Amino acid sequence: MDTIHITGGQPLVGEVRISGSKNGALPLLAASLLIEGETVIENVPDIQDIHTMIETLRSLGAKCTYSAPGTLHVDATHISSFAPPYHLVRRMRGSFYVAGPLLSRFREAEVPLPGGCAIGPRPVDFHISGFKQLGAEVQERHGVMHARASRLRGTDIFLDGRLRSVGATINIMLAAVLAEGTTVIENASREPEVVSCENFLRSCGADITGVGTSRLVIKGVPRLHPSSVRAIPDRMETGTFLVAGLVTRGDITVTDIRADHMDIVVRELVRAGAHIDRTEDTLRVRMRMRPNPIEISTGPYPGFPTDLQPNMAVVAAVATGTSVIEETIFDSRFTYADELTRMGADIQVKEHVAIVRGVERLSGAPVVAMDLRAGSALALAGLAAEGRTSISGAEVLDRGYETFTAKLSSLGAIVTREHHGTEAGVATC
Ligand code: EPZ
């Protein structure tokens, strides 16, 4: 378990480079299993979830090597197993993305079912339903999905129109690109991380039309050829540092980003009173006062990203009035609320809605990070609070934020990290 100590109350000022996207790189690593040859992936963030996915690929027989920091070579020519180990899939839900490629390459996949995690049950029934519709026989035994298919045949697949599952879109697409015939995925996710994977597959020779839309048309091809790709910048890290600038009333420029992926986030921060300057690959946030109250409801892209909902709760916590935050994607994504309350926030959570009455100042306190995005929200609260905040369970931040405390320190934050013994080993999302 690690604890991060933050002494808050001063504005953060400066420039910070945003790393490659966790949720953008993970599908690319999984997709590389489809290719008999070497895939080169640039801008891969050095974070725990990526390490877990590399371990998973290696467990299947793929060769994974770095030629430079952030540049990963994956050679899946000689993958020799269709059954990744439980302890890796349990540790990181994204490992389940290997199911589609293994089914494609081997016509067989034995993948442990990912467990739930702090933000709610994390079923994969949409993924399994898609595999079945493509012609696979699927059984779930002893916590493992056993999928077999003499051949995969294209078909029309309708995903849930409200949820537009990111993972299901990716996994079904990875199973369909080498299938016989045409697969249409209706209500596909339009998240930039999914679009980046669609574009990568096309660069490898996949026949996919409707890229970036919620209707994907995938014509199966006999094989894919090696290609290289650069992971998109991390939207969530971008948002976290923009909120840091806002809640500390500072002046932060985030660089190496995709500003076009941040439209709705920038809109909400401007509504909260921030001044934001924009270029194609930078955003600068300046704030001199307490933010205005906010009203947000999370939703599939281009809606407000659920992964930034906890960060926005910190804006609401110090706003000049009452804010309303609705979470429409996950069942329990307010795990941070009780911890923020310990810091003086006034948050009432009722089912999927949080009513937040802003206070003048939060006060530092010892708190616990229950999951990755709750952890970054507590760090933001500590930066905005008067006095010292100690966040235990802080190792969860390493899953999705590269050198988080170093980046905060470079902006003037007073932050230290203390290591105590082994990790709690909680399941992650
Ligand atoms: C991806 O998770 C992200 N993870 C999540 O980020 C993100 O919050 C989520 O998409 C939504 O944008 C990665 O990309 C690795 P979903 P995923 O399938 O694919 C339900 C983070 O902090 N559902 O879009 O698992 C599901 O329970 C993480 O970086 C089913 O019911 O999300 C949820 O309520 C957290 N059955 C909703 O759909 C299924 O088979 C959306 O889930 C699949 C999903």
**In a 3-state reduction of DSSP, which class is residue 47?**
coil
Quick one: which atom of ligand 1 is closest to the CA of 23?
A: 14
Count CB atoms within 10 A of the CB of residue 138. 18
Give the position of tokens 């996710």: 189
> Residue 301: what residue type?
Y
302-317 pLDDT, tens digit each: 999 999 999 999 999 9
Known catalytic residues are 117
Q: In the predicted model, what is the mean pLDDT of residues 169-186?
A: 98
250/221 Cα distance (integer angstroms): 52
Task: Determine contact, residues 207/201, Cβ cutoff 8 Å.
Answer: no
- Decide whether any atom of ligand 1 lies within 6 Å of the 23 Cβ: yes
- Tokens 């109250």 belong to 293
Question: Using CA atoms, how far apart are residues 287 and 244, in angstroms rounded to an integer?
Answer: 10
pLDDT of 426 reads 46
Identify the residue whose C-alpha is closest to ligand 1 atom 30: 123
Residues 140-148 have a mean pLDDT of: 94
141 has pLDDT over 50: yes
Rounded Cα gap, residues 359 and 357, in angstroms: 7
pLDDT at position 181: 98
Residue 202, both tokens:
């096309």
Task: Of 212, 210, 251, 260, give the one whose Cα is nearest residue 233.
Answer: 260
What whole-number distance in Å separates Cα of residue 313 and Cα of residue 336? 9
Atom 21 of ligand 1 has which residue's CA nearest to it?
A: 307
d(CA 245, CA 273): 12
The pLDDT score that the predictor gives to residue 427 is: 46
From 26, 163, 396, mutation site for ligand 1 pocket: most ligand atoms within 8 A of C-beta: 163
- The predicted pLDDT at position 422 comes to 60
Is 312 in contact with 285 (CB distance < 8 Å)?
Answer: no
DSSP state of 100: H
For the segment 130-151, the average pLDDT, to the nearest whole number, is 96
pLDDT at 89: 87
pLDDT at residue 421 greater than cutoff 90: no
CA-nearest residue, atom 25 of ligand 1: 167
Atom of ligand 1 nearest to the CA of 121: 27
Summarize the confidence of residues 181-197 as an average pLDDT.
98
Pocket-testing residue among 329, 397, 399, ligand 1, by greatest number of atoms within 8 A of Cβ: 329
pLDDT at 116: 65
Which tens digits make up the pLDDT trace of 355-376? 999 999 999 999 999 999 999 9
pLDDT of residue 114: 87
pLDDT tier at 194, thresholds 50, 70, 90? very high
167 C-alpha to ligand 1 centroid (Å): 6
Q: How far is CA 101 from the centre of its chain?
A: 20
| Model confidence band, residue 429 (pLDDT cutoffs 50, 70, 90) | low
For each of the domains in the chain, give its residue range(s) and CATH number, in order of start: 3-19+233-423 (3.65.10.10), 22-230 (3.65.10.10)
The C-alpha atoms of residue 41 and residue 66 are separated, in whole angstroms, by: 9
Rounded CA-CA distance 54/402 in Å is 16
Give pLDDT, residue 257: 98
